[in-house]
Amino acid sequence: MKNLMHKLTAFGAEILKTLKLIARNKMGFVGFLALLLLIFMSYVGPLIVEPEMRANVKQIYKPPSWEHPLGTDFQGRENWIMLVHGGAEVITVAFLAGLLTTIIAVVVGAASAFFGDWVDDSIMTVTDTWLALPRGILLIVTAYFVSLEDVWTLALFLAVFGWPSLARQVRSQFLSLKKREYIEAAQLLNLGAPHIIFREMLPNMMSYILLALIESMIGAIYSQTYLVFLGLVPFGNNWGVLFSLAYAKNAIYNPNAMASLLVPMGGIVALQLSLIMFSRSLEEVFNPRLRVGV
């Protein structure tokens, strides 16, 4: 029991220390709070706020007012309720796609830099070839033939198209670390590639990898919204779908309907902005030199 209490106390102290480090950068802390708010709204909000399942023809395209804080959509449903219920899929796909993209890029970039010679040449040839292809066009054409029916399939699909540029960046970072004295010492001691990569090199790249994760998440948000807008993702009630439906119903030509476009767009922009702002605090958290004094 005492051992458990000691572990819980140590965990709580570490969490508090991390929060203090995040709070060092005011913009990063604001982004962190905004991200928590969006996550809470998107995953807890739907448990509290019931969805509107029926159309209300008398309330179609009402502008924002006290009665309708964010206006109504083409079916007379409250935009703020749609905002609450439309964020979970966007965040889930963005995180999964960003995570898978980062994992693929780190594995490819690390292997290319560490083993060098023909392995490096072969991997970089494939990477450069993949980078040279017109990603946007290829993304659209491939989406016509791939069934994107769930978030995991969509996330994997986006990761397959998103890893090459990040892999080159990771390779450059690993090449720089490879020349450090402690890495050369580990190689002389013959500690093995898995130990050197995962125990010596990756811990020193955590801040960079997390920044790459956030960058990949932002790219995934753009890509999934793009595919939803083109009608290539046949599922969900997310912000991208809401924007696409409002546009398809000619909301752009109706001044009273502009909220139907701006509300889901605002959710997407707020998510991206919170991620960008939060990334400013990651260096504070994962740089050992900056953790001193907290």
Residue 169 lies in a domain: yes
Residue 2 lies in a domain: no
Cα gap 271→42, rounded to integer Å:
11
Cα gap 290→284, rounded to integer Å:
6
Cα gap 259→252, rounded to integer Å:
10
Q: Are 173 and 210 in contact (CB under 8 A)?
A: no
Domain range enclosing 219: 20-286
Residue 5 lies in a domain: no
Closest listed residue to residue 75, CA positions, set 225, 245, 230, 236 = 245
Predicted pLDDT at 72: 86
DSSP state of 197: I
What CATH number did the domain enclosing 211 receive?
1.10.3720.10
DSSP state of 201: I
The rounded average pLDDT for each run of 10 residues, N- to C-terminus, in the chain (294 residues) is 66 73 82 93 90 81 87 87 89 92 89 82 88 80 78 87 86 81 76 75 80 89 85 77 85 85 91 90 67 54
Predicted pLDDT at 2: 61
Predicted pLDDT at 8: 67
Number of folded domains in the chain? 1
State the virtual CA torsion across 239, 244, 248, 253 in degrees, nearest 10: 70
Residue 256 lies in a domain: yes
Closest listed residue to residue 154, CA positions, set 265, 233, 247 = 233
Predicted pLDDT at 292: 53
Residue 6 lies in a domain: no
Specify the residue for token string 């995934």. 220
Helix ranges (H only) for the chain are 2-24, 26-43, 45-48, 79-85, 87-115, 117-132, 135-145, 151-178, 181-188, 193-195, 206-229, 239-248, 258-286
Q: Are 120 and 111 in contact (CB under 8 A)?
A: no
Beta carbons within 8 Å of 91's beta carbon, 6+ residues apart: 38, 39, 42, 43, 271
Q: Are 71 and 59 in contact (CB under 8 A)?
A: no
Residue 113 lies in a domain: yes
Residue 207 lies in a domain: yes
DSSP state of 21: H
Q: Are 74 and 256 in contact (CB under 8 A)?
A: no
Predicted pLDDT at 267: 92
Residue 12 lies in a domain: no
Which pTM was predicted? 0.85
State the virtual CA torsion across 230, 231, 237, 240 in degrees, nearest 10: 0
